[in-house]
Amino acid sequence: MGVNDSSGDIPVIANKRAITLMLSLLALFAPIFCYISAAAIYIFSATWIYTQSGYGVHLAFDDILLLIPITTLRIAYVYQVNRYYEGVITRKKTLALGILADGPGFFMFLLMVVSLLFPSFWLYKSIPTPLLFLIGTLLLWRKPVPESKTPWNDA
């Protein structure tokens, strides 16, 4: 568990194992983005792809090789949060990796915004669902670790 001070100067550090487990489950199983077109709906996660088209519903585990780069970034973010709670790395660097880990969802959303400018190119909607980044950021904000103020400890 963490440090507790009755004066309230030192924040309570959350249980690292519980945070790591929760973020690991989100990294692997939470949706990253939804892709909606006239023909089908796709929901992408790091370990599965849900497809609903006019022909039926399909849960794809066979496309896992396509998702390895995304999965690696998401697991790296969970590892980085764990290192933050060990006091090894700063919160800014952890948040930067969180943005990168949910980058594919943000990138697909950017493509959708571009498609609104040029409707003949893409006729779909992409909606990011950055649950891992949002919950990780909320944890880093609500349960911070006391960071060192010395310049030589900036990891």
**Which pLDDT belongs to residue 1?**
44
What torsion do the CA atoms of 18, 23, 28, 31 make, to the nearest 10 degrees?
A: 130
Say which residue, 27 or 4, is predicted with more confidence: 27
Give the pLDDT confidence score for residue 9 in this predicted structure: 41
pLDDT reading at 135 higher than 50? yes
Can you give the pTM of this predicted structure?
0.73
Are the C-beta atoms of residues 122 and 91 closer than 8 Å to each other?
no
Of the candidates 82, 62, 64, 61, which has an alpha carbon nearest to the alpha carbon of residue 72? 64
